[in-house]
Amino acid sequence: STAVQRLEASLGTQLLHRTTRRVQLTGDGTAFYQRSRDLLDDMDELQSMFQRERSQLRGRLRVDMSAGIARHFVIPALPAFLAQHPQLQVEISGTDRRVDVVREGFDCVLRVGTLEDTNLVARPLGAFRIVSCASAQYLARRGTPHCLDDLAQHDLVHYVPTLGQRS
C-alpha cells in the first residue's frame, strides 16, 4: 500500500518483502513491528493507569445538606458508598440555612427547591413527593379536605427553610 511505501521511504529501509504470491516482513520490518507493538501496549497501559486514577475518588469531600436529606437518604447510603471509595473522607454538614459555598469551604450543597444564587451550578438529583398529613382525631374534629381550597379552613404547619431568605 502507499502508506507502507511512505513509511519505508521515511525510515529509509524496506519493511516488507513483496512477491506476487506473498508479503513477508524483513528483519527491519520485524524489529519495527515489535517495537511499535511495545509502544502501543505501553500507551494503552499508560492511558488505563490514568483512567483508573480518575475513577478512584480520594481526598476530602465537604457537603452541606438539610438534616432531613442527610438523615433519610445520605447517611443510610454512606457506609456502602465509603466501602466503594475507601480513600475518600466525607464531611457532612446538616443545616437548613443558606451557606456560602466558597467562603465556608463546601465542595457541594444538596438542596430541595429552586436555586436562588445564579452564580452556582445546579444539577437535579431526583424528585420528592410531598404529602399532606393529618391525624384521625384532627380529621374527626375539623373534617377531611377534598380540594386545595378546603385547606384554607384548616390549621397547617409549614416547613419553610431559610434558604431563599437573605440574612
What string of pLDDT tens digits covers the 167 residues of the chain? 899 999 999 999 999 998 888 889 999 999 999 999 989 988 988 888 777 666 678 889 999 998 888 988 899 999 999 998 898 999 999 888 888 888 999 999 988 777 776 677 888 887 777 778 899 999 999 999 998 899 888 888 766 555 444 43
Outline which parts of the chain fall under CATH 1.10.10.10: 2-54
Residue 47 grid cell: 492511558
What length does the chain have?
167
CB 106 within 8 A of CB 76: no
Which class does domain 2-54 fall in?
Answer: mainly alpha
What does residue 51 show for φ and ψ, rounded to 5 degrees? -65, -40
How many Cβ atoms from other residues are within 10 Å of residue 138's Cβ? 13
CATH topology of domain 56-110: D-Maltodextrin-Binding Protein; domain 2 (3.40.190)
Full-model pTM: 0.52
Residue range(s) in the chain whose domain bears CATH number 3.40.190.10: 56-110
